[in-house]
């Protein structure tokens, strides 16, 4: 159970890193924060979706093996915990984070792209 929880936290962090890095790339291209948020989520979504679907498939296989062949409750617990954790983290990364960023973009503080540490890469920032 604990291993599945820790792994799902790692995947949640990874999803948010992907989103924010894509947003920073869009901001470097000169997009507004609102446009960068939408483009960042759209560009990060395929990687997040694919990794989570793969994990869901592995969770199903582990749960099935734990219940039928191996008859191991810890394996089933790991699979169930990981499945729930990844499902929750996918929801929070895609829905909650996007909602908070949209709200933030509408504020005066949200107009400061320096908060996202966006640099041009020319060495004079």
Q: Which tens digit of pLDDT belongs to each residue from 27-73?
A: 889 888 889 999 999 999 999 999 999 999 999 998 888 877 656 78
Alpha-carbon span 89 to 96, nearest angstrom: 10
pLDDT tens digits, 14-31: 999 999 999 999 988 988
Rounded mean pLDDT, 87-102: 92
Cβ pair 25, 42 in contact under 8 A: no
- At residue 123, the pLDDT reads 45
- At residue 49, the pLDDT reads 94
Alpha-carbon span 70 to 81, nearest angstrom: 18
CA angle 16, 94, 41 (to 5 degrees): 70
């Amino acid at each position: 159970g604990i291993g599945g929880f820790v792994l799902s936290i790692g995947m949640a962090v990874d999803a948010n890193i992907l989103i924010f890095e894509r947003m920073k790339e869009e901001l470097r291209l000169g997009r507004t924060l609102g446009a960068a948020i939408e483009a960042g989520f759209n560009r990060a979504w395929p990687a997040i979706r694919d990794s989570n679907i793969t994990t869901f498939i592995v969770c199903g296989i582990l749960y099935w093996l734990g219940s039928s062949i191996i008859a191991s409750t810890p394996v089933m617990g790991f699979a169930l915990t990981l499945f729930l954790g990844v499902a929750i983290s996918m929801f929070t990364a895609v829905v909650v984070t996007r909602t908070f960023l949209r709200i933030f973009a509408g504020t005066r503080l949200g107009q400061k792209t320096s908060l996202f540490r966006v640099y041009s890469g020319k060495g004079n920032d």
